[in-house]
Amino acid sequence: MQKQENKYIKGLFKEIWNAELIVSGIIIYGLFLINSESDYFADKIGSITGNIILVAFFKLLVGVFFVLLFNFIIHLLLRAYWIGVIGLNSTYQEGIKFEKLNYTDSYIKKNKKKYNSLETYSAKLDDLCSQLFSFSFLVFLICTSFLIIAIIPITILQLFDSELNIIRFIYYLYFVLSGIFFIDLFTGGFFRKFKYLYFVYRPIYSFYSLISLEFIYRPIYLTFISNTSKLKFTSLLISFFIFSIFGGTYIRDLGSSKYLNDLKFYNYDFSDEDRSLISSSYSYRNISNIGAAFSIDKDVYENDDFLKLFIKFGSTYYFANLKEISELNKTNKSIQRDSAFLELIVKSQKLKIDNDYLLEDSLVFNQFYIDYNTNTKGIMSLVNLNSLSKGHHTLELEFSKKVRETSPDIKSKKIHFWIK
């Protein structure tokens, strides 16, 4: 019976590459979909949960998915190469005949050691392909665990009153304990090494292992850390995630055209033909100070001048108008739709000069603005100053009730200017 099982397993080993190719193909298709529609998915997550942290977390994971896409593509190419070597070996069973090459002894000696047998070489390639596939699949499943653990409490908050103290306490405790679970995972099971520590940790591990589906990829994980250096493998795993989150996100952004990046204000898609609502500059003085909520082009104006005001577009505006923006994104791209989006953002704040609210005719026009020097996007408005007296004035930016409800800590902003 044991011999029959061994034969069956060996037979599976011989055919495992077929399954690898099929699974790699399916995952590549899925990762292509996630990467190409990541903004759409982020928008959906935001509109359903209204949680900015979850949206930001998903965007970080997209960087990991982007690098994983290349991992699985490399795996497919290596498998194709391996199939070629196997086919060549079946045709020329004697392998490379070095004696007929008439090369130097040093070259033959070096390469004979490497490629003495195509069968041995193909076996090494097979091992490499399997390891790459298993590692990539493990990372993919860990990312799935991250998403599941993040989504569960957000979903529960939608069902219960999130203002209740007990609900908030459970919410934060849940994330603290999930952090401990992932620390254990990325340190090779540190909390499982010590008897008494594991006694305390065991219920936490059992709970999160179940809800995150960790038990599915546990055999792969344990096989890696038990057959390689645990320190090297966990270092590789952590390094892969760090590189993917930062490097993958950066490379992915480079892959998009600058024009398309310009036309993204969070997850709102502008119509491709629309330039009339968008202004841009490489050199305008002080138009968008990095980090400033709003800024002006200069400090001193003539009384018949226009004040050029820049208001930085941040996540606060996006999430305050999440429902409306989601509805706009469902409609066909058009200048009219973009104008509606612009009006929505403009209405999210009010402007005051010297404690008096600006009248509508004081604002000459509004348009989206992009400053390439600081990579800042926002709204630019021209303010008519002809009704103001000479001397010192204060410009104040107040946020609408909807914005304040979304971000209770947000406060009005002031900036000073003079008319000579």
Q: Is 199 exposed, middle or buried (0-12, 13-18, 19+ CB in 10 A)?
A: exposed
> Which whole number is the average pLDDT over 113-132?
84
- From the CB of residue 398, how many other CB atoms can be counted at a distance below 10 Å? 14
Mean pLDDT, range 29-33, rounded to an integer: 81
Residue 253 predicted with pLDDT over 90: no
Is 57 part of a structural domain of the chain? yes
Q: Looking at the predicted structure, is the pLDDT value of residue 9 above 50?
A: no
Q: Indicate whether 206 and 305 sit together in one domain.
A: no
List % helix, strand, coil for the chain (3-state, nearest 5).
65, 15, 20
In a domain, 104, yes or no: yes
Per-residue confidence (pLDDT) for residue 285, from 0 to 100 = 35
Q: Give the pLDDT score at 199.
A: 92
User: Whole-model pTM above 0.75?
Assistant: no
Q: Supply the DSSP string of 91-156, one letter for each residue.
A: HSTT---GGGT---HHHHHHHHHHHS-HHHHHHHHHHHHHHHHHHHHHHHHHHHHHHHHHHHHHHH
Answer yes or no: is 293 within a domain.
yes
Residue 215 and residue 324 in one domain: no
* Total tally of structural domains belonging to the chain: 2
273 in any annotated domain: yes
Do residues 64 and 198 share a domain? yes
**Average pLDDT for residues 145-151, to the nearest whole number?**
86
Give yes or no: residues 109 and 243 share one domain: yes
More confident residue, 168 or 2: 168
Please give the average per-residue pLDDT across 207-230, as a whole number: 92
Q: Which pLDDT score, from 0 to 100, does residue 202 have? A: 93
Per-residue pLDDT tens for 149-191?
888 877 776 666 556 677 778 878 888 999 999 999 999 999 9
Range of the structural domain that residue 73 is part of: 2-255
Q: What is the mean pLDDT of residues 47-63?
A: 68
pLDDT average, residue stretch 37-44: 63
- Residue 121 within any structural domain of the chain: yes
Selected residue with higher pLDDT from 329 and 92: 92
Please state the rounded mean pLDDT for residues 256-276: 41
> In the structure, what pLDDT confidence band is assigned to residue 261 with cuts at 50, 70 and 90?
very low
More reliable by pLDDT, 58 or 271: 58
* Per-residue model confidence as pLDDT tens digits over 335-394: 677 777 777 777 777 888 887 777 655 555 577 776 655 666 777 777 878 778 888 888
Q: Is there a domain that residue 260 lies in? A: no
